[in-house]
Amino acid sequence: MRYQKEDLSKGQRGGIMIRAVVAGAAGRMGGRIIGMIHQSEDLALSGAFEHPEHTKVGRDAGEVVGLGPLGIKIERSLDDIIGGCDVIIDFTAPEATLDNLRLAARHRVSMVIGTTGFNDDQLKEAKELAGKIPCVMAPNMSVGVNVMFKIARETARFLGDDYDIEIMEVHHRFKKDAPSGTAIRLAEILAGSRNRDLDEIAVYERKGMIGERRSEEIGIQTWRAGDITGEHTVMFGGIGERLELTHRAHNRDNFARGALRAARWVVNQAPGLYDMQDVLNRMGTTAYIGIGSNLGDRYQNCLRAIDLLGNTPGCNITRCSDWFWTEPVGVSNQDWYLNGVASVETKVSAAELLDILLSIEKEMGRVREKKWGERAIDLDLLIFGLEIIRDDVLAVPHPRLHTRRFVLVPLVQIAPDLIHPTFGVTMKKLLEGIQKEGQEVRPMKG
C-alpha cells in the first residue's frame, strides 16, 4: 500500500490516503463512486477518465457529478493518469474494462471491477489479466447482495431437489446486458450447490407448448422498466409452499460503498483474482492503535511505524487520523509528543496484535527502561473490536483511554461514534467530559 499525505481532492490531511482513479467518471455509477470518495476519510480521487469522445472530457469531475470543483479534470484515457494511483475502480463496459485491465497489469496497479456483460472470451481474458495484479472482480459490490449469495447457496443445499429454483431480476430501462451479472452469479452459485452445470440447466425464456418443467432446471427471467435501480429474487418452489429471497437496491450508493470497501482491501493483497466474498470473509476485527513519538524526527517515526504495521501480514490499515502535537501527561521536562490514531482490520488475535506492536517498537529502537520515559515510538492497542480483556499481559480497551485527550482527539476524528466496550458511550461523548487543562492538543500544521 502506498501512502499519500496530500488528499488531491480535499486539500491537506495528515493520514493515509489511498489514491483512486475512477473509470466512466461521468456515468451513473462513476458519479456515485466519486461522491463517496469525496466523503471518505481514507481515499483520495487522484484521477477520473471517460472514453475519448465523451462530451464531459476536459471538465472538472466534481462539477460533472454535482459536487462543485475538485481540481480533478476528466481525462480521455487511463494512460494519462495511471502513474499516480493505487487502485482503479471500473464500472464501465466489457471492452473498455479489458483495455483498462491490460494497462493496469502492465503498470502493476490494483483494480476493482464491477463491469458486467462479458462474453466467454472476454471473461477468460479478464480473469487471466486480473490474476497478475491484486484485483477484485464481482458482478455486484453490494454487501447485502453478497450476503444473499451465501444464504441462497445454503438454502439450496437444505431444501434439495424437491424445490424448484427460479431467479427474477428487474432493472431500469437503460441497462444494456441481460440477464444481469448478479442474476447469472446467483444461478452459478445455485447450480454449483447442486453439482450441476449451469449451461445445461439454465432456462432464459419460456414460450409455447414447452411441456412440464424439468426439476433440475433453473429459470432466469429478466424485466426492464423505468428507473428501477435493481431487484433480485430467488424463489424456491415446493409442493404446498415456496420460499423467496429478495434484495432491492434503493439507489446506487450501496454498490459504491461496496466498491470502496473492496478498494481499501485490495491494495493490501497479493496479486490474484478475488471477489466480494473474499473481501467480506477476510476482513476481521477492527482495532484502533494509538501512535506517538517525542524523540528524534517524530513525524517520520510515526510514518515508519504505520508503514511497518501496514506491511505486516494480517494487518490492513483502513484509516489514519491527522497528527497532533500533545502536551506530555504525568511527567515534566519532556518534549511534546506527536500523536495520532490508526484503525486496522486484522485477522490476528488481540494478544498477537500486541506482540506485533511490541516488535515494531523494538525494531525502531525503543527500550522500555523507565515508565513514561521519552520514546522514539509508542504504539498502544486502544480498542480491539468489542472485546474486553484484562489479564497479566493485555488490557483492552486501554485502561486510560477515557482520560486522555491526546488519544481521544485523533480517535474521535476517525471514529466519533465508536462505542467504548466498557462504558457503553461514544468516544465523542468521552472526549466532551475531559478537562483541557494539562492536556493541550494542537493540530500539526504543514
Q: What angle do CA 111, 116, 119 make, to 5 degrees?
A: 110
- Per-residue cell: 395: 488490557
As a whole number of angstroms, the distance between CA 246 and CA 188 comes to 17
What secondary structure letter does DSSP report for 187?
H
Q: Specify the pairing of strand 285-293 against strand 315-320.
A: unpaired
Candidates 441, 382, 366; CA nearest to 415 is 382
> Which residues in the chain come in under a pLDDT of 50?
1-15
CA 188 to chain centre: 25
As a whole number of angstroms, the distance between CA 304 and CA 309 comes to 9
pLDDT of residue 370: 66
Determine the longest span between alpha carbons in the chain, in angstroms. 92
Describe the crossing of helices 181-193 and 143-159 by its angle, rounded to 10 degrees: 30
Considering the segment(s) 143-249 as one domain, its CATH architecture is 2-Layer Sandwich (3.30)
Beta bridge partners of 12: 6
Let me know if 10 is a catalytic residue: no
As a whole number of angstroms, the distance between CA 44 and CA 112 comes to 15
pLDDT of residue 15: 46
Q: What DSSP string runs through 196-257?
A: --HHHHEE----SS--SPPTT-EEEEEEE-TT--EEEEEEEEETTEEEEEEEEESSSHHHHH
pLDDT of residue 4: 37
CATH class of this structure's domain 6-137+253-280: alpha beta
Candidates 302, 410, 409; CA nearest to 364 is 302
pLDDT of residue 371: 65
As a whole number of angstroms, the distance between CA 74 and CA 81 comes to 10
pTM of the model: 0.58
pLDDT of residue 188: 93
Beta bridge partners of 138: none
- Per-residue cell: 154: 445454503
What does the domain layout of the chain look like in residue ranges? 6-137+253-280, 143-249, 284-443
Question: Per the residue annotation, which of 73, 171, 247, 402 is the catalytic one?
Answer: 171
Question: Per the residue annotation, which of 56, 107, 132, 175 is the catalytic one?
Answer: 175
Helix (H) or strand (E) holding 199: helix 198-201
Q: In whole angstroms, how far apart are CA 361 and each of 17, 331, 354, 364, 378?
A: 24, 21, 11, 5, 7
Contact call for residues 302 and 293 (beta carbons, < 8 A) = yes
As a whole number of angstroms, the distance between CA 322 and CA 391 comes to 32
pLDDT of residue 359: 94
Asked if omega into 179 is within 30° of 0 (cis), the reply is yes
pLDDT of residue 286: 86
Let me know if 107 is a catalytic residue: no
Candidates 34, 47, 36; CA nearest to 8 is 47
Asked if omega into 397 is within 30° of 0 (cis), the reply is yes
pLDDT of residue 360: 95
Considering the segment(s) 284-443 as one domain, its CATH architecture is 2-Layer Sandwich (3.30)
As a whole number of angstroms, the distance between CA 203 and CA 221 comes to 8
Give the burial string for 274-308 (b: 16+ CB within 10 Å, else e): bbbebbbeebbbbbbbbbbbbbeebbebbbbbbeb
What secondary structure letter does DSSP report for 165?
E
